[in-house]
Every structure is written in structure tokens, then in C-alpha cells.
Amino acid sequence: MITDERAWQAVEEKDRSFDGRFFYGVATTGVYCRPSCPSRRPLRKNVSFYQTAADAEAKGFRPCLRCKPLEKAGRDPMVDRISLLCQFIREHHDETLTLQSLADEAGLSPWHLQRSFKAVTGVTPRQYIEACRIDTLKNSLREQESVTTAIYQAGFGSNSRVYERADTRLGMTPAEYRSGGKHVSISHVSVASPLGRMMIGATDRGLCFLQFADSDEMLLEMLHREYPAAVIREMPQPWPEEFNRWIRALNEHLSGSRPQLDLPVDLQATVFQMTVWRYLQNIPYGSVESYSEVAEGIGRPKAVRAVARACATNRVAMVIPCHRVIRGTGELGGYKWGIERKRALLDRERGKVMHKIVSSGNSFQ
């Protein structure tokens, strides 16, 4: 048994050799961490120790989003196991794959697989299977004469299944995608923001464009470049109420009164892009991670450059918070809409987090 004194020493030293041997909970934040957690060291009076993660959760603590105590301790064997399962899915996605069959393949219980898979990849097994099928469908739509044939060859059991998922996976219906996006209608509005001119573009399924520039002309050119085959028009006044809600949510997010943005998006994405983008949406408001931490977090530690490319191809700023990814040296790194905007976004988020902590009488731990 590890004494509390020795455990606290390991926390002070961020000793990785103790990862997995115990966990510590922080009363002021409500989270539990591994000893090597990179977050600022808590006060000793606020810390309690637990032999297992289950013990910590039984006391009401939730897993830390920085060190991810359930997912990785150094090179967690679970990451390798899930990576192998992802490869299996990519090779067999056109077959019938159930949660039980995948659990048997991974040697886990269905419950444990569901939890671990999402922790490593950021998506559920079902979402990963569908993303693989959508990738195959995209390629097949360019080659097959029949949309229906392409749908079934990709592993979907029916046309309706694809059209139900088109808004969140394909970015448009199969027929629309096959035609290169022709006749897809995108409405746009430009508004002033603390970061300069901001353009919001949307289809009837959700946001497909949210970007910054110095002028409306530049934004419109960027929109046409992103969607060259679409029908693009300015949204007439009065704006629909749903669109007004999106504008309000974005303004509240920029002001710091709405830390989480949960807006519908209509984006084309590969499996890898979707995995990275979903992971980014789980980085806490006011926090940052390096490109290598993101790569390791999705179970692809060697894909650092691919993670950077996924960030660079993001079309909806803030909703997919790629500004929270920085270089491992601590430098901000690049940002599609300018380094000053990235710095401003991070400064705003950190300032709001600091204000909230000071107002509640707590201090950074």
C-alpha cells in the first residue's frame, strides 16, 4: 500500500512511475487525476487519494480532461487495442458489425468497449463504422453509375440509413455529393465581432462555414473557394429564428457567457478529420493541448502532422475549437485566421476562467 505522504510526493513530482498505481481527487474541481497530470498542482488540503478510478468515481469525482486517467498512462495498452480494432473496422466495415462482435474481437465486455473506444477515438464504435462507410461511399459515388449500388457496396443496409446520416457525415445527400455539390444552397451573413468581420454560412442542415477576415469581400471569396459548386446567396432579412439563435450563441461564446458551443454543423469529413474534430470539442474551455497530445489522445501518436492538417482544414472556427491546439514548445503555432486572433481567443477564454475562479473564492490549483 502507498501511504498518503508518498502519494503526495509523487503528485508534487508528477512522477509517471506511479500512474495507474493510485489516483487523486481534487475537491475544488471535482475531478480525479493520475499522479503525472500536467495541470497546476492542487493544494494538499483539497486532495484525497484512491487506489482505483472506480473508488474515485464512487466519491463523485469525474475523470480529468487533461491527463485522462481512464485512457492513457504512458503508452496505455488499451490505446493499442483500440487502434487494432479500428484497423479491423476499416477492413470489415462493409460487413454486419455489432457491439458484441466488436467486443469479442477486442477481448472486452460491450460496456467496457463502448467506454474505452470513445475515450480513445472521441467517437462511438457505431459512429466510427458509419464514418468508414461514408468514406467508401464517397469514393464509390464517383465510380458507380447507380447511387443505390454505391450505398449498398459501402455496407449500408438501406438508402434511408444514408440519408438519415447525410447531414452529419457526408455534408450533403449522396446525389448532391456525386454532382460535386451542385444545387446545394448556402446562405451567408457577415457580422461584426471582437475578432473582426465574421461570416456564417449555413445549409438547411447546419453551419458549414464560420470564418474571420478583414472584409466582407475577403470572406465571400473564401466561401466560394470552399464551396465552388454550391449555390451561394446572402440570407435575406428578417433572419430565421434558428439562425438568430446561432448568432446569439456565438456572441455569448465570444463574450465568455457560453463556454460550450453546441451548434449543428454540416461538414464533409474523413474518418480521421471527424475523430480529431470531435476530440478538439472535448478540450475544456480555457485549456490547450499540443498537436502531439491530440495525436496521442486519439490513439495515433505518430500522426502529429495529420492532426495539424485536420486543424488547418477546419471550416467552422470556435465550434470546432482548433485554436486550443498549440505547439509542444508552448508557442501558439499557426492559425488559419491569423495568430493574433488565436491569441485573442485563448486570452479571452483564460481570462473568463480566471474571473470565474476568483469570483467563487477559489484559486488555480
Q: Any idea which residues carry the catalytic annotation?
A: 33, 322
* 10 CB-near residues (< 8 Å, 6+ apart): 2, 17, 18, 22, 35
**C-alpha distances in angstroms, 77 versus 34, 37, 70, 262, 299?**
16, 19, 12, 32, 10
- Cell numbers describing residue 59: 466519491
Helix (H) or strand (E) holding 213: strand 207-213
Other beta carbons within 10 angstroms of residue 234's beta carbon come to 11
Residue type at 347 in one-letter notation: D
Residues 122, 167: Cα–Cα separation, whole Å: 19
Other beta carbons within 10 angstroms of residue 294's beta carbon come to 25
SS3 324: helix
- Cell numbers describing residue 102: 466488436
Residues 210, 219: Cα–Cα separation, whole Å: 10
Helix (H) or strand (E) holding 188: strand 185-193
Residues 279, 123: Cα–Cα separation, whole Å: 8
Name residue 196's beta-bridge partners: 193
Residue 244 sits at φ, ψ, to 5 deg, of -60, -35
* 314 CB-near residues (< 8 Å, 6+ apart): 277, 320, 322, 336
DSSP state of 144: -
Cβ–Cβ under 8 Å, residues 216 and 230? no
Instruction: Classify the C-alpha dihedral 292-284-260-189 as positive or negative.
Output: negative
Residues 150, 140: Cα–Cα separation, whole Å: 5
Residues 64, 302: Cα–Cα separation, whole Å: 24
Cβ–Cβ under 8 Å, residues 189 and 199? yes
